[in-house]
Structure 1
């Protein structure tokens, strides 16, 4: 006797469910809508996805590279001269390892 491995499996005592794709999609959208309606309160210090952040200022003060720093050619980080693997290589100890 051949076994159809693609056929849905039904355990003893369970009714076979004949849910259509439309019914499953409708049930999923109801569940998602219910969850969204429950979690509408914003918590302190957290911003929700899609929140309006247009009133925030994104200013960053950039300090130029100092004389005792170099830019690593391996990881592109600005590192202190004491972290250079060999003098003049512009490669930090982490990248040289």
Structure 2
């Protein structure tokens, strides 16, 4: 007699049924009540769930492209010139993108 390999094993089927029943009986809010709660909240007051709003600036030091570097026109990463795999119409492509 042949085996039906697409049929779930009995222990897996029971586990899935138990999980479904547990999810149905859980006291989780439905999606509509969550949307209503979020619509009613006023986030302009500075209260952000799970965090805080900081009034700080981000300072980033920019380093100019070196003479031995290029920007791949596929992934837009700065690479060393030794990684040039193809030049097409003045556009340079790295070895990772050509692989």
- Return the TM-score normalized by structure 2: 0.44
CA radius of gyration, larger in: 1
**Richer in helix (by share):** 2
**Richer in strand (by share):** 2
